[in-house]
């Protein structure tokens, strides 16, 4: 792409427009700067709300894939790439998933997570190579994340995913009317011009984070990782998570701290098993059998029913 063509493309992007409400921010006192940022942030949730139908479609695709042994891959650059990696890295401790189930890939590789790697996002071929290196399979879902929609690295990964037969999702903060990339689901929360022109780590980044939270949280609810509104598949890998596990067991069953500690030990530190053991008054082996029959759903296991397909 020539410099003039790129310049023309950038100046017309929704994410690159000037915000008329913040033109005086450079002379504003600190309190006013913060008010302006906060006021603009209020627009983000409404923009995401307008995309709930598309987000629903995306979650359904992911659930079907993960149930069939597929995985979810995020591909992004800069802020978008880091947000994908953040969401992916939080799934194992929160939901007890294998690290391979949700993965984030960023232009420039591991180094780019901590420091900008300039130019890594500028070639579609880099996205294609990263896609191949990640070992993506046709059964997987590939989600591109690019506030501007145009990031070549992300487009390269999406094109490779389409060629392989993967289901594809794209999260962008440009209008759907200007979205021209072939994907199964496009999620387009348009948050308007940034407080600082082109700084998409702000409202656009917040919108992307909100959407990613929705995608994985709703998916994990659908996969039985939540009981009522509590995490019950979390991994007890640090003291905070150990105490959260004990508190969850205490909250659901009404037993004491000491009893919850012993119960979790008897359940091999598995919260779901502990809950079924206590509430159904069964052995660990029977609790595990009921959970397996219920596809991991605690509520169904407590009713000793088989989960529907």
Predicted local confidence at residue 92, as pLDDT: 93
Q: Are both 217 and 287 inside the same structural domain?
A: no
Catalytic residue among 90, 118, 303, 309: 90
The per-residue pLDDT for range 275-299, each reduced to its tens digit, is 999 999 999 999 999 999 999 999 9
Q: Which of 83, 72, 67 is nearest to 169 (CA)?
A: 72
Q: Are both 79 and 186 inside the same structural domain?
A: yes
296 is in which domain, residue-wise?
226-302
The total number of structural domains in the chain stands at 2
Q: Are both 158 and 253 inside the same structural domain?
A: no
- For residue 8, name the pLDDT band (cuts at 50, 70, 90): low
Which residue has tokens 């082996």? 285
Predicted local confidence at residue 117, as pLDDT: 84
Residues of 189-222 as b/e, b for ≥16 C-beta within 10 angstroms?
Answer: bbbbbbbeebebbbbbbbbbbbbbebbbbbbbeb
Q: Are both 239 and 181 inside the same structural domain?
A: no
Relative orientation angle of helices 257-266 and 239-253, to the nearest 10 degrees: 110
| Tokens, residue 265 | 């030990």
Predicted local confidence at residue 301, as pLDDT: 96
Q: Does residue 270 sit within a domain?
A: yes
121 carries an active-site annotation: yes
286 carries an active-site annotation: no
Predicted local confidence at residue 218, as pLDDT: 98
CATH number assigned to the domain comprising residue 215 = 3.40.50.10490
Catalytic residue among 51, 121, 124, 194: 121
The per-residue pLDDT for range 195-220, each reduced to its tens digit, is 999 899 999 999 999 999 999 999 99
Average model confidence (pLDDT) across the chain: 93
Predicted local confidence at residue 304, as pLDDT: 87
The per-residue pLDDT for range 164-200, each reduced to its tens digit, is 999 999 999 999 999 999 999 999 999 999 999 989 9
The per-residue pLDDT for range 72-120, each reduced to its tens digit, is 999 999 999 999 999 999 999 999 999 999 999 999 999 999 988 878 8
């Amino acid at each position: 792409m020539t410099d003039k063509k790129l310049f023309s493309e950038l100046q017309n992007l929704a994410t690159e427009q000037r915000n008329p409400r913040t033109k005086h921010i450079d002379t504003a006192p600190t309190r006013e700067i913060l008010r302006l940022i906060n006021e603009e942030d209020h627009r983000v949730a409404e923009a995401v709300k307008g995309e709930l139908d598309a987000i629903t479609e995306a979650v359904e695709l992911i659930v079907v894939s993960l149930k069939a042994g597929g995985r979810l891959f995020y591909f992004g650059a800069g802020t978008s790439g880091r947000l994908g990696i953040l969401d992916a890295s939080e799934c194992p401790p929160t939901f007890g998933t294998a690290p391979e189930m949700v993965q984030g890939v960023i232009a420039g590789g591991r180094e780019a997570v901590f420091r900008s790697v300039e130019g890594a996002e500028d070639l579609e071929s880099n996205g294609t190579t990263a896609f191949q290196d990640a070992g993506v399979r046709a059964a997987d879902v590939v989600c591109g994340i690019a506030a501007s929609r145009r990031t070549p690295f992300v487009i390269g990964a999406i094109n490779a995913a389409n060629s392989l037969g993967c289901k594809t999702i794209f999260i962008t903060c440009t209008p759907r009317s200007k979205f021209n990339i072939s994907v199964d689901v496009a999620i387009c929360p348009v948050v308007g011009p940034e407080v600082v022109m082109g700084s998409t780590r702000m409202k656009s980044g917040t919108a992307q984070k909100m959407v990613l939270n929705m995608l994985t949280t709703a998916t994990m609810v659908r996969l039985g990782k939540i009981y009522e509104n509590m995490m019950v598949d979390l991994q007890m890998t640090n003291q905070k998570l150990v105490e959260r596990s004990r508190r969850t067991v205490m909250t659901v069953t009404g037993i004491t701290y000491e009893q919850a500690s012993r119960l979790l030990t008897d359940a091999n530190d598995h919260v779901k098993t502990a809950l079924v053991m206590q509430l159904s008054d069964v052995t660990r082996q029977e609790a595990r059998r009921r959970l397996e029959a219920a596809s991991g759903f605690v509520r169904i296991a407590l009713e000793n029913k088989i989960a529907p397909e």
